[in-house]
Amino acid sequence: MMHSIGSSAKGKLTAIVDIGSNTIRLVVFHGPARIPLPVFNEKVQCRLGLGIDETGLLNPKGVELAYESLNRFMKLVEVMEVDHVSLLATAAVREARDGPDFVAQIKQRFDADVRVISGEEEAKLSAYGVLSGLPAADGLLGDMGGASFDLVGLDQGTFSQHDTTPLGHLRISDEERTSIAEMRQFIRKKLSPISWTNEMKDRPFYAVGGSLRAVARLIMHQTDYPLHVIDNFTLPCDEAVALLDGFAQLSSDEINKVPDVSRKRLETLPAAIALLQEVLENIKPSHLVFSGYSMREGQFFLSLSDELKEQDPLLSSCMDLVEREGRFGQQGEEVYDWMSPLFPNESESQKKLRHAACLLHDIAWAEHPDYRADHGFLRVLRLPVAGLSHRERALMAACVYSRYKGDFNARIAKPLRTFLNDEDAIWTKTVGATLRLAHTLASGAPHLLEQTRLEIRGGELILSLPEDQDVFIGEAVAKRVQTIAKHMGLSGRLEHG
């Protein structure tokens, strides 16, 4: 196995080569970090598992394409100076009679060791990927690959039961089964012996895998959903079932119109729709939750130190982002503590989102002033971090949008009007206005904020300023205080000394 030393300017790089039954993918992550940041991601659809049930062998054409793809991937990780490379093979290589020969050839050609993981390991790695962003996930996880469909029970972040079934999309969409009804009958037969999944009724179902993510994109396209972030895209079960029933009637031409999905991935949609229909209608989970994280992220998560694993995924990611791109260092922590007296009754969720917004309050500093609000809003809304609900993304983005005086009625702000109610809007505008005041007072200078104090006293919002400190005196300061007070339904004033 090659182990070249990564450039100190780039930080460490970790590569994972996922040799799946349908695709072979190389992902290179920048780390160590609590949430992996992909710096390179490429896949090739080799379809190693095609026809394996009939022949017991890997698809010969897929094998040759796999060698060609791995040759490119292994050269890429060398020139990228990747620190560590892991090659993982799943169901097709595990089950095929010539799987050991395939692995031996990879060793011979590329001096690389392939770890052929069991069905249990594959299922748990996928679960670790989801748990990396949702540490307390509770429900049923299902990971659909090319040759298998892995199920894992999650009880508040811990594993319960698990099973591996031969329900990958290559097997479901066998040439003997051309309709979704025929596919569903096959799926039902394979799932019916697994009785423990009945315990997952009225708990979330976490959908993992590229084919299931394609279903999420189909739903977003058909419903004109305003946010195209797959991770934690959530639907009530009955709503999802109704949509899937409608999709089962779509023609191939209609399915092919789904944007941002490759033609080869679109071919897997009927099998994925049929599988989701069976799971949702028979297990009856409370919600369908799509995950953007899977086995690769699970493998990355397990490589982290215990200290990193225990960090909050959202706050850790925000701190990493500020460290890479911020101009004022970690001033966000100071801002968070300084404004906290204005929010004594906020929920734990609001507290964390406000903390994150404080860390990111200067995220658009390098943009043209006319576009800072829009840029900051979109950047935060689409932040590459796991575990945030779409409403939470909107709340956090709205705080930063308000900090830059963004217009909630603008076209770009449609997600805010979709996800947030009037109470949410008041809270986010208050946070945003307070972030703007903090920037006006401190302008990035260390320890200036700690010379001032914000508080609510006697029905008034009061900003206490030190005597004889001209740096805090100006029309902008007074104006910002009045804006915050207006959002809170209070009067505002400055107090010196």
Q: What are the domain boundaries of the chain? A: 13-117, 120-296, 312-450
Check residue 116 and give its pLDDT: 98
What CATH number labels 312-450?
1.10.3210.10
- Tell me, yes or no, if the two domains 13-117 and 312-450 fold the same way: no
Instruction: Give which of 55, 49, 59 is closest to 22, Cα–Cα.
Output: 49
Pairing of strands 114-116, 84-89: parallel
Check residue 2 and give its pLDDT: 36
Q: pTM for this one?
A: 0.91
Which of the following CATH numbers is that of domain 13-117: 3.30.1330.40, 3.30.420.40, 3.90.1300.10, 1.10.1660.10?
Answer: 3.30.420.40
Check residue 446 and give its pLDDT: 67
Task: Give the whole-angstrom CA distance, residue 54 versus residue 70.
Answer: 26
Check residue 330 and give its pLDDT: 61
Check residue 177 and give its pLDDT: 86
pLDDT along the chain (497 residues), means of 10: 35 92 95 85 96 96 98 97 96 97 98 95 94 94 96 95 95 87 96 95 97 96 94 97 95 84 88 97 97 94 92 91 78 93 94 96 93 96 90 97 95 93 96 95 79 92 84 84 96 88
What CATH number labels 120-296?
3.30.420.150
Count CA atoms closer than 13 A to 276's CA, side-chain side.
Answer: 36
Beta carbons within 10 angstroms of residue 265's beta carbon: 21
Check residue 4 and give its pLDDT: 33
The secondary structure of the chain, three-state, reads: CCCCCCCCCCCEEEEEEEECCCEEEEEEEEECCCCCEEEEEEEEECCCCCCHHHHCCCCHHHHHHHHHHHHHHHHHHHHCCCCEEEEEECHHHHHCCCHHHHHHHHHHHHCCCEEECCHHHHHHHHHHHHHHHCCCCCEEEEEECCCCEEEEEEECCEEEEEEEECCCHHHHCCCCCCCHHHHHHHHHHHHCCCCHHHHHCCCCEEEECHHHHHHHHHHHHHHCCCCCCCCCEEEEHHHHHHHHHHHCCCCHHHHCCCCCCCHHHHCCHHHHHHHHHHHHHHHCCCEEEECCCCHHHHHHHHCCCHHHHCCCHHHHHHHHHHHHHCCCCCHHHHHHHHHHHHCCCCCHHHHHHHHHHHHCCCCCCCCCHHHHHHHHHHHHHCCCCCCCCHHHHHHHHHHHHHHCCCCCCCHHHHHHHHHCCHHHHHHHHHHHHHHHHHHHHHCCCCCCHHHCEEEEECCEEEEEECCCCHHHCCHHHHHHHHHHHHHHCCEEEEEEC
Q: Which residues of 232-262 are buried (b: 16+ CB within 10 A; e: fewer)?
A: bbebebeebbebbeebbebeeeebeebeebe
Angle at the Cα of 134 from the Cα atoms of 300 and 260, rounded to 5 degrees:
75
Task: Give the whole-angstrom CA distance, residue 251 versus residue 266.
Answer: 12
N-terminal to C-terminal alpha carbon distance within the chain? 67
> Residue 1 carries which side chain, given as an amino acid letter?
M
